[in-house]
Structure 1
Amino acid sequence: MVMQGYSPNSGQIVNGFEENNSDRPMIRPIGIILNPAGVALVTAGEVLELTATITNQGSVSAIIDLFIAETSQPVHQWFVCPRERLALSPGQASEVVFRVQIPVDAIPGTYDYTLVIDAPQHYPEETPIDQKVRLQVMPFVQEARTVSDPTFTLQPPTSSVSPALLQPGQPLELQVTVHNRSDRVDRFFLTCPDLESRWFTIIYPEGFQQAGMAIASDGLELNPGDIGQILLFISPPPDTWAGVYAPTIRVYSANNPDLALLDVVYLQIASLHLVTVELLSLVAKIKREAGLFELKLSNQGNVIREIAIHAKSTDEEDICTYTIAPPMVRLLPGTSVTVGVSVKPTKGWRPFFGRMINFSIELEDLQQYPLINDRFQASLFWEPRPWWQFLPIVILMSASVAALIFLIWWLLTRPPVRAQVMQFSPESNSYQELNNEAIRLNWTISNPTHLKTVTVVGFSPDGLVRSGPFIYEFIPGLPNALDRFCTQGEQLICRNVWTDAREAGDYVFELTAIPINSKAETQTIRTNPIRILPVPQPKIEEFASTQPVYQERLLTPNTPANPTESTPTAPSTSSTQGNRILLNWALSHPDQIQEIRLLGLGPDGTVKSVEKRYNFAEGIPEELRGFCGENPASRQVICTNVPTDAIQPGDYIFHLTVVPKKGQPEPLETRRTNTIKILAQKIPSRIVEFTFNGQPAPPKLVRQANPQQNSLMISWKVEGGNGMKVELLPAPGTVPREGRMPYPVSQQPGSEMITLQVTDEEGNQQQRSVIIETLAPPPPPEPVEVPPPPAVEQAPAMVPTPGAMTGAEGDPAAAPAPGTPDAALVIPAPPTPGGDAVGPPPVELPVPGANLPGGVDPAAPGDTPDGAPDAAEEPVKEPGPQFFETQPLAPAELPPQFN
């Protein structure tokens, strides 16, 4: 809210003041405060409340009308009651609320309208006041979707009540989640029509053309029913003005480009109040003209600043007039204004010995925003008259010889004289405690022979004794303590008389002259305040790291983990310095530093680098000799590339504390760096191993239903960084990087898919999928009357499909390579329960167990040279846990089955 008034000259509101030729702005009789101030944001279909606080700043009671100008169309039609009237006494304020009903079909955009404040009966000359107001209508977002229309949501959510608060230059990360609810594959695109391209960045997820191959994508492609995410970074430029912004987010569908998927993001840029002021002296020494000074104001913040400038004298007597042009300035963000200050003495006669005129320039923020420095001291020297202008005085003195004769006669016949203090002052008005300087005094006393005692006492400004008292007895003559400083004749002249005032602070010395005649009056005189400046405290001028971000580097066997433990002799440029944080700092007044302390903390306050102390009592310490050096010209010690023990990945904030030798302040001078990052070395993610029953996982695994074999043993091994996520889908979900587990399979004919999915820190994914197809068991063979052969149990085994068998029996090069979609593994059905003999294998399958564990090993002892198994000599083992390396799971442990 801003206090506002009206200027009849320009027709513009000037914050309750009117510009004139005087030094200060004139207050107008009517003031107005609007809420909301500036541009009001409202969405179509909502109701906006405009509050106007009216203050009668005049001297008479007034009836004030407030109404919306009829020329402000179509905004005038939106006001529920466009006219209000109120009566205010002098100094009284009242509040008026206008309700604005925005139609649903209002066209989005910015509308200007005029609020008129009129008091024709009581303030006819100052009214009417036309207040220009701006209203911005945001688009009305209405959801009208069918069941098959895509939808999207924004995270984090924002609203006009709780917008996302951003500091100047801070980006906002939004995650747009898109849901394809149609029955077609669709591609979605994201845009921000209300923002410039430099304000936002859109990142689509990478697509996968083939297994293990990632391709760049300019959109989000989703299968029917899938959900995907798009990253949106809104980065307002650093010079963006403070306020609330409401850009529109729109998602386009490639299948339905006319579909409007809209949402609004509310952003609030935080206010930054930073105004720098510089005072320049253009003419600081005058004879007859005025002194000229200049103020340069620069608004480096992001809000509009309105500042009034005043000037006044700091001397006891004000003999100058001050002219400021302009007396009030309005600074837009990023602009600068120069203000001229003219100082002219009002007295026409120049001083005989010159005069120093001291004054101050004060700044006042009309909006009560903070100012770094609101007061500036300046001085103007008024030069003395030329020597030839003293001739009239000489002539006047020559003409008064007769009076001088009379004066001599009067001196001879006058009563006895008494001691008189003619002058009492310090040798200097300012001293340095650093140089161990004591205050020295000068005084002149006439008729010292009539003087009995001189007492000198030093007081503080609040009346406490800080020096002395020093008592000098002048009977019978000049004291011995003053022999070195005083000469006595007709006057007692003392120069550079030492005192014991050496501590920093302000002193006022009092001299008391006691005459010999007890009836005579005792004379007391005081000096002006005398200041002893304290010892300058060391300051941290600069403190930062050599770079904001470092990259973690693996240490070689010959590289020490902490090279700063040894005393360095020169800044190191080896690889050990590249993986740790290096600091630079500059300290003023190094001769006043006792020690410095360096501590590294994390953002949460935990100690990540232990505190190091460097003793500067005898100069630069040995451990910093190779990194620090003194600059005598600027009286600074500058340290560069000072290594720390921060080598682990993470965020660091280093604190540098300076302990002075004398007069330690509370708290100590401390400065900290910005957040410094050490990025961890990235390790690429990859699937090292993915097997079923000890064999590499094929794209397709064919098996026959067997109630006795209800699970497969799955094992995997994945390599990657710390933030990697490993999932086994559809169940059990997230798993360790390396492991093995039994996976139950369905006994019903059908197929299901098992996917091993790896997601790294940046969201990139790798997948390995296997389709398990379960076949129905073959029908039992017809009984044949044959002599029963020796009982041999047939073990099921996984064998290649007919396509793979053909390649194996024929040309070896014709067999599909492992891992291709044409390669598949087949597990034949077990023997028929209760049969007397093992049935022949299916015609399309070769000998079971020829390629996988659990089958017949062609190279086993007893086989024929051509590799055919001998069923009579080597019975096949019954498949069991030793084949699948698992036990049946309980029903509660079984994951859901997918056919």
Structure 2
Amino acid sequence: MAGSQIEQWQEPELQGDPAVETAAAAAAITLAPALAPLPRPRWQRRLAIALGLGALGGFGGLLWWVFLRTPPSPYVLDISPSQSEYALAQGDSPRLSWQVSHPRQVQTILLRGYAPDGTLAYGPETYDLSQGLPVNLLPYCDQARRLLTCRDVPLDLRQPGQYRFELTLLPDMGLNLAPVRAESSLVTVADLPQPRVVELVPDQVIYSEAGTQVSDSNPTLAPAVTDAGIRVSWIVANPESLQDLLLVVKRPDGTTLGGRRFTLRNPSSPSPVALPEELQPFCQIQDRLICQGVPSGMVEVGQYQFELTPVPTNLGDRDLPAAKQSEVVNIQPRPVRIASFTINGREAEPKYLVPVEPGQSIPGFQVAWRVEGGSTAKVELLPSPGTVGLQGALSMPLSPAGTTTVTLRVTDGQNPPLVRAVTFETFNPRPNQPVIINQGGGSPNSSGQPAPAPSTPAPAARPRDPLGDSLRDSDSTSGSTLPELQNRSPDELDLKF
């Protein structure tokens, strides 16, 4: 009943309204079964397949890159010196440039230098790249992801010769890659020119002994040597290659007396040549080393010859350069002089006549001397006691033989000696004493001969004074002196010593 009412209510509306009929027709078309789609073109299907395969391959390639790919090996793109020749004389040292690919795969770089015969001459120099560029390469290198570039890296190489440098790359241990090596072209390091002594001269060839008084009255005397001793001057070419200077002092016969070493460069580092403190007041370095008036300390009397030898840097097994010798220098002794030579306090005469009466003791005398001279002066009193000091006094007896000669001999060791001699000659002042005969006669003696008259007694002897007039007259001959002395009394002779 209800259903019929609905149908009754709807049906007249559906049948009578044209708009409703149109909407119903459209709905009927929509709810009808759909037709089968048309097939897609073949190229679209192939493109879809290709895209799927590409995506799958890209994913697989990514997995291979991350987990299965072998990393690229590093290698040396270039290694070359900045120039083929270097001159040690100009302070140059070899410089090397290189390029390395994939530096992140490199843990260590080794740099070696070899002589042409294969002998290791430099290095190995080690650069650790595990933490990035080392500090000693930062000023010379730039590192990118795939390239390490180093330019003009200086090498501490001061030995002359020819070298070929080798760069070795040691990859990271985890990569399990073999080392990579590359060699540079040949590099020549020119030797420094050898130092050479051009001139070695003493400031004077003749000196006088220290303390010698040189005056206008002695124009032949050379200037006296000072406490600095003999001074020498020299000129050395190519001083930039000097290590040391050896100054040796010898005798003319080759005997070495001593020497000095002047160090001009620190042997433990390649520092430039510099004057030592003891040479600074006397020398200067320009293109040559010029030294003037260098004191040697040689002050003793004698003959000397100097020898200067330059010692170059990097001498190695090579022989020393030739030494330069100076001419012979002579230090002459101070001239000797007999300042005084006295007998009994008076200046000595060449000859003395000493009266000695028969039965009387032979007197003695006192000789004194003073000599001026230097360290080589030698004084002798002959025949005895021989060598004595530069001054002194001695009491000496006269010889019973009748003649005594005392000689003072002074020498400086080089020049002829100075000699002063004194001769003492004893004589009897009364050689012909008369015998007085008694004129009145006398009683005969037991033999029947008359007894001789007693002789007149001789005057009593008086104390005699020190050396007097007879010694001052001793330069006269004995023939002219004896009669005069014979007529004098002992008091007047004044010949007691």
Return the TM-score normalized by structure 1. Answer: 0.31
Q: Which structure: greater strand fraction?
A: 1
Larger radius of gyration: 2
Q: TM-score with structure 2 length normalisation? A: 0.50
Higher-RCO chain (CA-CA 8 Å, sequence separation at least 6): 2
More helix by share: 2
